[in-house]
Structures are given as C-alpha cells and as structure tokens.
C-alpha cells in the first residue's frame, strides 16, 4: 500500500519573515519615503509590488484558508528567490473553459502579493471541438496527436484566442499579463514522418519570460514551439511546462487539474504527498499504478530529478491553489524528492562519534556540555533506543522505548537543521516515527516559533514552567490524566537520567551551586542580579528551549534549527549576562558616553540610542561643538563637552559609565582607551575607528560572521569598517569554494569621506563624476583579508550620492557552480539573520540607504562556471557603523541583539 506521508510545512523561521517580506515590498513607504522614487523603479523586478494596504488586504483574504504564520512563512519562502523562480503553472484547456474565474482570482491574489508565476496553457478539449466542427477526425499515435498542417492551423488560431482570453480576464481583475505566443520554446521534429508537425523541445529562451516579469506582468505562454528555421510545431502543454521549469528551476511546478490531485486506486482517497526517494519504488509496484497515473508519476520523478531538491510539484484544482501554496496541510497532491532515512539501534552505526557529538551539541558550547553528551551517548549504549536520521544528519530523532508505568515511547532527541526543515526531512522522520511508535511523547518550549508544527502532530498537550508536553496515540483518558499529573509535578525530570536536557540542567546547577529551579528561572531573565561568571556558565549550558530556535537560515526557506534536549540560544532575549563582573540589579539602563560625536556616524548612533529602551546617553564629547546643546536626543538635556583623556579617566574611575563608544578618526582614540584601562574600570569600549581591528586583544564585532558568544563576553570590541562589513558578508559563504583572489570594486556615497571638507565630499567635484582613491593597500583591503583568512583586492571609489555603498565582487571558484548553487549557499548561510538579506537580483544603493542591514544578490556566473560576481550593498553610516555598534553593545551588555534597531 502507498505510504501517505503527512503534508509538510516548507517553513521559514518566523524571525526571518519580516526581513524577507521586505525584499518584495519596495513600494512600502517605510522603505521609500519619497513618492518620486516610485516612478524610477517601475521597471525593476520587484518594483511592481502593490501598496502595503493592498498586500494587507490580500493577506487578510488568505487568512481564511490558513494561519498567519503559515501564510507569512510561505510568502517569505517564495519571496526569497528571483521573481521568475517562484512557480511555473500549467493550465489545461478544460480549466480555461470551465474554471476561468477561479483561475483568475487565484492568479490575481498572487500578483497583488508580488508573486509572478509563469503560466503555460494548453487547449486540448477546445481543439477537439473545433476540429470536429471543421470535419477533421483527430488521430493519435501512442497517445500523441498527429498534427497535419490543417490541424496545426486550427490549433494555432485556438491557442492565440485562448491566450488572449486569459490575458483579458486577468486584466479585468487589475492584473497586468503579457501574452507570449512564440520565441520561448525551441524544438525539433519529434518524428516528422510519424507525427508530422509535432515538436520535441530542445531549448528554452528565458528572455521573454524575464522581460515580462521585469515589466511587472504575468507571462502567459502557449504550448507552441518553433524550429530554428521558424516552423511552428505543436507540443504537449505538460511537456512544455516541464521544460520551462528545467530552465527556470522554480520552487513550485503546479499542474492545475479538475480532479484536484492524484487518488489512491484502492481507497479512492486523495494522495496528500508523495516522497519519491522513499516511496517511488513501492509506489510503482502497486497494481493500481498504471496507464496515465503511472506515466504522470514517472514524468514528475524525471522532472524533479533534474531540479534542485527545494523544488516540488503540486497537482491541484485552481479553486484551492492558495491553500496548496500557503498552508501546511495543502489541498492537492504534493510530489517531492524527499530523502531516504536510516534507522539504527547501535550508537556505533550512527557515523563518526566526533561528528555525532558535534551534531548533538549543535550550538550548545559550554563548560560541561561535551561531558554531558559523552554521558548521554554512554547511556544510550547501555539501553534500548532507535535512531532515525538522513545521510547528512540534517534531522536526527532518538526514541526510547516505552517504560512503566505509562508505557509511552519518549522522543528524547529531535535535532533538525534549517535544511532539514526546508527539505522536509523533519516531516519524513516524524511520519516514520508515527508509523513505528503508535504512542509517543516529547517536550517543546512554549515560546518556540515552531510550536504550531508540533501541535499539528500531537493529540494533546499540557504546559508547565514554560515547557509543553506533547503526546499522540493515548486513547485511555485515565492515562492522559496520569501523564499530565506526572509532568505537572516533575516537569522534564519525569524522563529520568537519559534525558539530555535534564542532565544539562543538573550540570549547570552543580557547577554554580544552584538548584534546577534556579537554573530554570535564570533562563527566563534577560539579565540577572547574580554574578557575571555564574550567569555566563548557566547561559552556555542551559539557555534556550527544548526545541531550540536559534535562527540560521536558508533556504530559501528556512526553518530554524530545533532540538529536543539540545537547546540553543533563546530568541527574543540575549541569554548573556550584563557586561562586567559587577552585580546588576536596577542600575539599568546602561549609561553611555560617546567620544567624537560631530561626524555623521556619531549622529546616526545618537538617533539609535534615543530609540533604545535601555540605553541612557550621559556624555557626548566633541571639540568643535563643545558648549552647544545636543539636538535630536529627547531622553535628557545634554550639552556637548570637550573631554580630554584625563577627563575620561576620572569618569571611568567614578564607575558612572557602562559603555564608551569611540567615534573618532583613525589614530586618535588610543589615549582615551589607555585612560580607561589605567582606571581599572571594567566598562565596555566599542571603537568605531580602525585602530584596534588588527589587535588580537580586541574582539572583532561582526555578529553575523563572528561567534556571538565572543562578542557577548568582550570588554573591548573593534567595530568593523563599512566597506569591510559588506565585503565579508559578500564573500564569506564561498570561502571553501575560492579558486583565486576575490576582487572588490566598491563605491561609496560621499558621507563616507566624513565631514571634513575634501575633494571626496565636494558635491560639485562629484557631480557627473566618480573618484577612485587608495586603489591598493587600502586599510579595508587588509581588514577583509585578515578576517577572511584569504587575500582580497579592494578598489574603493566615491560617487555623488550621500550615503550607501555598492560592492561588485568578482570571485574565482575552484569548481563549476551554477547561480542557483551559489544563491543557495548564501541563503543557507544567512537565513534567520535579521540584518542580512539575500535576494536574487542585484541590490541597489537607493534601496539600502537609510536601512540597517546588508543586501546581497546578483550571483552572475561566468559561462565557464568557474567565476561568480556577487553584489552587496550597505548603508555606511548604519550597518556599516552605528547599527553594528549598537548590535555589539546589545550583545555585550546583555540586551536583545536587535533592541533599538528598526527592522524592515
């Protein structure tokens, strides 16, 4: 019998959703404050997004078919690729005749959400009717229509009419559609003698499709092809859609069907999902899988074998298209490649022991974490268990057999990488668990962003102390009550010594002389009155959740990593303690002194500190502005001071400053740092200059590429350069694939030249001009090379705009790669990072100016496949300086990393 897998959620971490939605909404007034910009952008891929009110209205409509979480995570997934790579939708002739209204309504909603599917339509039933009226008897050979010149003439006329009918129907709903009736499908004769004017597709020209979408239109294609000498040939619409999909590599290939999916030949129930890697051989052996059904499944497998694993096929009725696309349960039949699973009851058969330990510890680095995992594995070796995992260990589940008195199996470990979520491996594993374990229980933190996923797979739940116990398969109500009572009384301790999470809690409590209850209470706090050393140790060992949700990425779509018993850093609040060894109680917010506030960066940082809920700016030093009142800061009245190094030492001695920010030119801040060091103060220093970026005693503060724990525990943080931040983000995911020296062509707005007058910030000199400078041995060249561990070439320029940097980075590769391969590497590396956005198109300076992150895109691969050009943009005053400074301050002071930072 066919194994009917539960529908999976192709999920994206909700923490990543807001930043990814912004990729697709450049018309949002919060991103484009000047209305005049809209007209300039009307011919960009993403420039045809609706106003936010229209988008919200569409989301409201969609909320009737699924949860907001589902809709937003799928929308984020679809928005994470370039516009042509969202979906290819094949529309049969019967759909155009009988379900045109449903089709156009569905396509209209996609269009108004900024999604541009490629539509390929046929016209088989209409053609049969027209041929009959013309006195032509249709002829078939092996299921293929023999197409003579008369038949082709009728078909050509019909397809043009049907194409125009669909375009006009969409226009009536406010959708711009672009009829494409030739120039895309290149073909040769399939067998001219046998089939006459029937084509075999040999090439796809994507340019007309891309141009349509670039101009804000849905491309509407007919299933007609041409030979290289211009002869029109008839091709099957399903085949045409498949070949276009092979060329475009979309996330979704949708076949609209009146039946709405594939149906099981015995039970007659709709098949919800087919995981080909697991089920194909067994499925093809079923007696009912024959004729058209057999051919359809074989064709789908052949198509998906040629596409990335992220691609999937859906067979769905047009009325249910949105439910299929935007909900976990779907509505039609989802066909995906899936992954073959491995099971074992022997630790030694789970691969290299050190790799297994690293998988179990994941992000759980701590004083005693490795020792605890050693004991955990030793315990597994001494008892029965069963492990379920894929070859890459993207998902690992460990189930302990039922124990008395409840006789319910326990899912003791369930760790999933982002790729495991996005490739649906987690669903495959869990479905296997349900087949083999009719009764199962597990725990999840109640604030976990993936909590809904687990609710959908459970029969019941109960919460205690921030944890949720789930179960399924328990039909006896008295056992349910007993289980709930046990968990309510004991929490995770009910699972005994084999539970890894309980062991980690005990390790923390033993290390710091605390009870397990105290450890649990510590996890819920953003900061503590305990000593720094105590809190740091607990955070490393025990912070987070039973199913951890530390954002990573993606995919393209990404869920965050999750694990039972292996909890990572909690989202929503930084687990690290307040900076320094002093006890903190209510002497919050942190008191800040800014040395060097006249420049653009200083002003940007003042604005951010003014918004921050827990930063209190006390001193602002500027020699030129001394005595003047600080403008733009509303928390208190501040007058500029001209603080000397001795003044700084006295303030440091007084202990009234928690963090010093040095916003001084290069080579100037050393006396101030020495004064603070001499005072013996343990206050934090963040230096925005280049003075300490090469000093091993200072922590380099680029949170997206440096271990955040190092920043959180640092006393001295060197803030990276603006050019250097964008360049490193643009190169880092390809480090292991480098085939030579990356070359970085960078162009900055003139704010990067500072406020001191020079030819580089003279607007008249920059008018209609671009100025190169320091083309070799620039300090950012040294900085990027030192941090990445590989030599780079950097060529900076300055141009006439005010703020924002654009990088064009040429990167040699050590092997052939496709643009899709490379983009996936970047999405995987940065998924979940709120201030790094990976897009398909090249990012533009006008879209990054005034925003707080880095945009990376382009991914143009040379015809050799051995060189890629990547574009990166950054606002030099914000993520290039002030925003990154605030990130580092937040981490080191124990606040949420993004507190006070407006997120897109």
Distance between CA 588 and CA 581 in Å, rounded?
15
288 with 326, same domain: the answer is yes
Q: Is residue 167 scored above 90 in pLDDT?
A: yes
Cα distance between residue 502 and residue 734, in whole Å: 39
| Residue 13 resides in a domain | no
| Residue 5 within any structural domain of the chain | no
DSSP letters for 6-75: PPPP----HHHHHHHHHHT-TT-TTT---THHHHHTTTSGGGGPPPHHHHHHHHHHHTTTS-HHHHHHHH
pLDDT band at 497 (very low <50, low <70, confident <90, very high): low
Residues 597, 742: one domain? no
CA 84 to chain centre: 18
Residues with catalytic function:
722
User: What mean pLDDT is predicted for residues 565-591?
Assistant: 37
Q: Are residues 673 and 734 in the same domain?
A: no
**Cα–Cα distance, 522 to 517 (Å, whole number):** 9
- Contact in structure between 5 and 272 (CB atoms under 8 Å): yes
- 3-state SS, residue 592: strand
Cα four-point dihedral sign 396, 402, 405, 406: positive
- Mean pLDDT for the stretch of residues 158-176: 94
> Rounded CA gap, 522 and 524, in Å?
5
Higher pLDDT, 185 or 67: 185
Judge whether residue 579 has pLDDT over 50.
no
Judgement on whether residues 794 and 680 belong to the same structural domain of the protein: no
The DSSP code for 736 is G
Q: Which residues are within 8 A (CB) of 268 and not within 5 positions of it... i.e. 6 or more apart?
A: none
Tell me: pLDDT of 451 over 80: no
Give a yes or no: residue 800 inside a domain. Answer: yes
| Share above pLDDT 70 across residues of the chain, in percent, rounded to a whole number | 77
Positive or negative torsion for Cα 787, 789, 791, 793: negative
Task: Kindly state whether residue 547 falls inside one of the protein's structural domains.
Answer: no
Q: For residue 460, what pLDDT is reported? A: 85
The alpha carbon of residue 553 and the mean position of all alpha carbons in its chain are separated, in whole angstroms, by 4
- Residue 471: name the closest of 489, 507, 495, 449 by CA: 495
Higher local confidence (pLDDT), 518 or 505: 505
Question: Could you tell me whether strands 699-700 and 716-718 are parallel, antiparallel, or unpaired per DSSP bridges?
Answer: parallel
Say how many C-beta atoms besides its own lie within 10 A of residue 613's C-beta: 10
Predicted confidence band of residue 6 (pLDDT cuts 50, 70, 90): very low
pLDDT surpasses 80 at 555: no
Return the pLDDT at 754.
65
Structural domain boundaries enclosing 204: 18-336
As for how many domains the chain has, the answer is: 4
Phi, psi (5° rounding) for residue 195? -110, -10
Q: Report the C-alpha gap between 568 and 551 in whole angstroms.
A: 10
The Cα 424–Cα 419 span in angstroms is 8
Contact between 880 and 887 under an 8 Å Cβ cutoff? The reply is no
Distance CA 506, CA 519 (A): 9
For the cut 60, the answer to whether the pLDDT of residue 69 exceeds it is no
Instruction: Report if residue 698 sits inside a domain.
Output: no
Query: What digits encode the pLDDT tens for the residues 590-620?
Result: 899 999 876 788 889 999 999 898 899 999 9
Tell me, yes or no, whether 599 and 746 share the same domain: no
| Closest among 447, 476, 434, 481 to 462, alpha carbons compared | 481
CATH number of the CATH domain containing 533: 3.40.630.30
The pLDDT-based confidence of 781 (bands split at 50, 70, 90) is very high
Secondary structure of 636-665 as H, E, C letters: CCCECECCCHHHHHHHHHHCCCCEEEECCC
- For residue 567, pLDDT over 80 is answered with no
* pLDDT tens for each residue of 853-886: 999 999 999 999 999 999 999 999 999 999 999 9
Which of 478, 511, 542 marks a domain boundary?
A: 542
Give 257's DSSP letter: -
CATH of the domain at 780: 3.30.360.10
Residue 894, H or E segment: none
Q: Are residues 762 and 620 in the same domain?
A: no
Interval 791-820 mean pLDDT: 93
Asked if pLDDT for residue 502 goes beyond 90, the answer is no
Largest Cα separation within the chain, whole Å, is 102
When pLDDT is cut at 50, 70 and 90, the band that residue 70 belongs to is low
Asked if the structure places residue 135 within a domain, the reply is yes
Picking from 180-194, 221-235, 765-779, which range would have the lowest pLDDT averaged per residue?
Answer: 765-779
Nearest by Cα to 717 from 677, 689, 676: 689
Q: Quick one: CA dihedral 343, 347, 349, 352, positive or negative?
A: positive
Q: How would you class 134 by CB atoms within 10 Å of its CB: exposed for 0-12, middle for 13-18, buried for 19 or more?
A: exposed
3-state secondary structure of 547: coil
User: Would you give the DSSP letter of residue 438?
Assistant: S
Query: Parallel, antiparallel, or unpaired for β 408-416 and 440-445?
Result: parallel
Residues 424 and 314 in one domain: no
**Does pLDDT of 30 surpass 60?**
no
Q: Shortest CA distance to 325 belongs to which of 101, 96, 58? A: 58
Place of tokens 């929503």: 572
The label of the residue with tokens 């600080």 reads 630
- So what's the pLDDT on residue 566? 28
Query: What is the rounded average pLDDT of the residues 322-334?
Result: 79
Distance, in Å, from the CA atom of 154 to the CA atom of 128, rounded to the nearest integer, reads 10
Among 137, 323, 309, 155, which residue's Cα sits nearest to residue 223? 155
544 or 273: which carries more pLDDT confidence? Answer: 273
- CA dihedral 254→68→574→369, nearest 10 degrees, is -60
Q: Determine the pLDDT at residue 518.
A: 43
**Strand partners for 870:** 809
| Residue at which a domain ends, from 336, 352, 387 | 336
* Cα 719 versus chain centre, distance: 26
Residue in 428, 419, 451 with CA at minimum distance from that of residue 553:
419
> Same domain for 373 and 318?
no
| More confidently predicted of 255 and 756 | 255
In a domain, 401, yes or no: yes
Q: For residue 495, what pLDDT is reported? A: 72
What tens digit of pLDDT does each residue of 83-125 get?
888 899 999 988 999 999 999 999 998 998 888 999 999 988 8
If asked whether residues 278 and 350 sit together in one domain, one would say no
| Helix/strand/coil percentages in the chain, nearest 5 | 40, 20, 40
Does 18 score more than 50 pLDDT? Answer: no
Residues 668 and 745 in one domain: no
Look at residue 563 and tell me if it is in a domain.
no
Pairwise CA distance, residues 760 & 752, whole Å: 9
Q: What is the CATH number of the domain that holds 616?
A: 3.40.50.720
Q: Which comes out higher in pLDDT, residue 279 or 411? A: 411
Residue 146 has pLDDT above 60, yes or no: yes
Strand order in 615-621's β-sheet? Answer: 615-621, 590-595, 659-662, 684-687, 716-718, 699-700
Task: Please tell me the pTM assigned to this model.
Answer: 0.47
What is the chain's mean pLDDT, rounded? 78
pLDDT given for residue 243 in this prediction: 95
pLDDT grade, residue 56 (50/70/90)?
Answer: low
- Distance in angstroms (rounded) separating the CA atoms of residues 596 and 448: 42
Same domain, 683 and 654: yes
In this predicted structure, the answer to whether residue 185 has a pLDDT above a threshold of 90 is yes
On whether the CB atoms of residues 441 and 467 are closer than 8 A, the answer is: no
Question: Token pair of 848, please?
Answer: 């990054």
pLDDT of residue 22: 30
Contact 642, 626 (CB under 8 A): yes
Q: What pLDDT sits at residue 136?
A: 79
Window from 271-285, 455-469, 488-502, 835-849 with minimum mean pLDDT: 488-502
Q: What is the CATH number of the domain that holds 295?
A: 3.40.1160.10
Q: In what order do the strands lie in the sheet with 341-344?
A: 341-344, 386-390, 395-403, 408-416, 440-445, 467-472, 460-464
- Listed residues 282, 303, 336: the one ending a domain: 336
Over residues 219-248, mean pLDDT: 93
Quick check: 796 and 775 in contact, CB under 8 A?
Answer: yes
Whether residues 154 and 298 fall in one domain? yes
Question: Average pLDDT, stretch 230-248?
Answer: 93
What would the two tokens of residue 889 be? 């301050």
* Alpha helical stretches, state H, 381-417: none
pLDDT of residue 258: 86
| 483-507 burial code (b ≥16 CB/10 A, e <16) | bbebbeeebbbbbeebbbbbbbbbb
Give the whole-angstrom CA distance, residue 546 versus residue 255. 40
Write out 192-227 in H/E/C secondary structure: HHHHECEEEEEEECCHHHHHHHHCCCEEEEECEEEC
Mean pLDDT across 650-675: 90
Q: pLDDT tens digit string along 637-646? A: 999 999 999 9
Of the two residues 656 and 71, the one the predictor is more confident about is 656
Q: How far apart are CA 487 and CA 497, in angstroms?
A: 15
Distances in Å between the alpha carbon of 628 and those of 621, 640, 641, 644?
Answer: 11, 6, 8, 17
Cβ density class 784-806: b for 16+ within 10 Å, e for less: bbebbeeebbbbbbbbebebbbb
């Amino acid at each position: 019998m066919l194994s009917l897998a539960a529908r999976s959620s192709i999920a994206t971490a909700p923490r990543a959703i807001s930043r990814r939605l912004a990729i697709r909404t450049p018309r949002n007034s919060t991103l484009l404050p000047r209305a005049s910009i809209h007209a300039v952008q009307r011919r960009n891929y993403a420039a045809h997004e609706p106003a936010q009110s229209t988008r919200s209205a569409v989301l409201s409509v969609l909320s009737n078919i699924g949860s907001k979480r589902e809709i937003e995570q799928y929308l984020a997934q679809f928005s994470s690729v370039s516009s042509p790579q969202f979906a290819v939708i094949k529309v049969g002739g019967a759909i155009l005749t009988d379900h045109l209204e449903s089709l156009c309504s569905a396509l209209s909603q996609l269009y108004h959400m900024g999604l541009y599917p490629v539509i390929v339509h046929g016209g088989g039933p209409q053609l049969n009717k027209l041929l009959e009226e013309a006195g032509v008897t249709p002829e078939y050979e092996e299921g293929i229509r023999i197409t003579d010149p008369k038949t082709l003439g009728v078909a050509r006329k019909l397809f043009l009419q049907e194409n125009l009918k669909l375009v006009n129907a969409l226009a009536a709903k406010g959708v711009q559609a672009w009829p494409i009736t030739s120039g895309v499908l290149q073909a040769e004769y399939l067998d001219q003698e046998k089939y006459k004017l029937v084509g075999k597709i040999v090439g796809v020209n994507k340019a007309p499709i891309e141009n349509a979408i670039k101009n804000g239109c849905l491309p509407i294609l007919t299933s007609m092809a041409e030979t290289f000498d211009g002869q029109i040939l008839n091709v099957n619409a399903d085949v045409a859609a498949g070949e276009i999909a092979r060329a475009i590599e979309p996330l979704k290939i949708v076949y609209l069907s009146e039946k709405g999916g594939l149906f099981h030949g015995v039970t007659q129930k709709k098949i919800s999902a087919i995981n080909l890697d697991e089920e194909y051989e067994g499925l093809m052996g079923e007696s009912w899988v024959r004729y058209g059904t057999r051919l359809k499944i074989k064709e789908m497998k052949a198509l998906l074998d040629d596409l990335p694993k992220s691609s999937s096929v859906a067979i769905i009725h047009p009325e249910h298209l949105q439910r299929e696309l935007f909900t976990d349960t779907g509505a039609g039949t989802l066909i995906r490649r899936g992954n073959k699973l491995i099971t074992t009851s022997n630790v030694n058969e789970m691969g290299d022991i050190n790799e297994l330990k690293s998988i179990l510890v994941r992000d759980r680095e701590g004083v005693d974490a490795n020792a605890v995992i050693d004991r955990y594995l030793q315990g597994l070796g001494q008892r029965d268990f069963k492990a379920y995992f894929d070859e890459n260990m993207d998902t690992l589940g460990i189930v302990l057999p039922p124990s008395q008195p409840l006789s319910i199996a326990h899912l003791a470990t369930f760790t999933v990488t982002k790729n495991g979520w996005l490739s649906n491996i987690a669903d495959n594993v869990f479905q296997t668990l349900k087949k083999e374990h009719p009764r199962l229980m597990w725990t999840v933190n109640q604030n976990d962003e993936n909590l809904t996923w687990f609710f959908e797979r459970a029969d019941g739940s109960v919460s205690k102390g921030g944890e949720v116990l789930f179960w399924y398969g328990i039909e006896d109500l008295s056992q349910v009550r007993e289980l709930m009572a046990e968990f309510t009384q004991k929490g995770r301790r009910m699972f005994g010594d084999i539970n890894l999470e309980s062991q980690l809690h005990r390790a923390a409590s033993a290390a710091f002389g605390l009870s397990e209850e105290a450890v649990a209470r510590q996890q819920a706090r953003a900061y503590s009155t305990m000593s720094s050393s105590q809190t740091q140790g607990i955070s490393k060992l025990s912070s987070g959740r039973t199913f951890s949700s530390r954002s990573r990425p993606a995919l393209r779509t990404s869920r965050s990593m999750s694990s039972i018993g292996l909890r990572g850093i909690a989202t929503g609040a930084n687990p690290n303690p307040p900076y320094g060894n002093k006890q903190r109680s209510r002497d919050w917010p942190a008191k800040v002194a800014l040395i060097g506030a006249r420049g653009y960066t200083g002003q940007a940082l003042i604005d951010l500190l003014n918004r921050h809920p827990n930063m209190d700016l006390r001193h602002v030093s500027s020699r030129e502005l001394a005595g003047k009142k600080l403008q733009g800061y509303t928390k208190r009245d501040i007058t500029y001071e001209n603080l000397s190094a001795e003044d700084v030492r006295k303030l440091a001695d007084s202990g009234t400053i928690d963090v010093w920010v040095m916003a001084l030119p290069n080579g100037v801040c050393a006396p101030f740092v020495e004064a603070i060091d001499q005072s013996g103060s343990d206050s934090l220093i963040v230096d925005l200059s280049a003075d300490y970026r090469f000093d091993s005693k200072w922590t380099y503060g680029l949170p997206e590429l440096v271990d955040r724990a190092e920043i959180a525990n640092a006393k001295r943080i060197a803030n990276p350069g603006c050019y250097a931040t964008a360049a490193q983000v643009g190169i880092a995911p390809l480090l292991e694939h480098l085939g030579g020296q990356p070359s970085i062509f960078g162009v900055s707005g003139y704010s990067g030249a500072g406020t001191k007058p020079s030819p580089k910030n003279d607007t008249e000199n920059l008018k209609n001009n671009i100025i190169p400078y320091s083309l070799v041995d620039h300090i950012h060249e040294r900085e990027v090379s030192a941090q990445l561990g590989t030599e780079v070439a950097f060529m900076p320029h300055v141009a006439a705009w005010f703020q924002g940097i654009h990088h064009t980075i040429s990167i040699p590769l050590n092997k052939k790669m496709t643009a899709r391969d490379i983009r996936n590497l970047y999405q995987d590396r940065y998924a979940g990072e709120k201030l790094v956005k990976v897009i398909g198109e090249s990012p533009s300076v006008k879209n990054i100016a005034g925003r707080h992150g880095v945009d990376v895109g382009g991914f143009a691969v040379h015809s050799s496949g051995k060189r890629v050009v990547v574009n990166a943009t950054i606002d030099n005053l914000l993520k290039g300086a002030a925003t990154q400074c605030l990130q580092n301050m937040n981490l080191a002071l124990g606040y949420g990393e993004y507190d006070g930072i407006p997120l897109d």
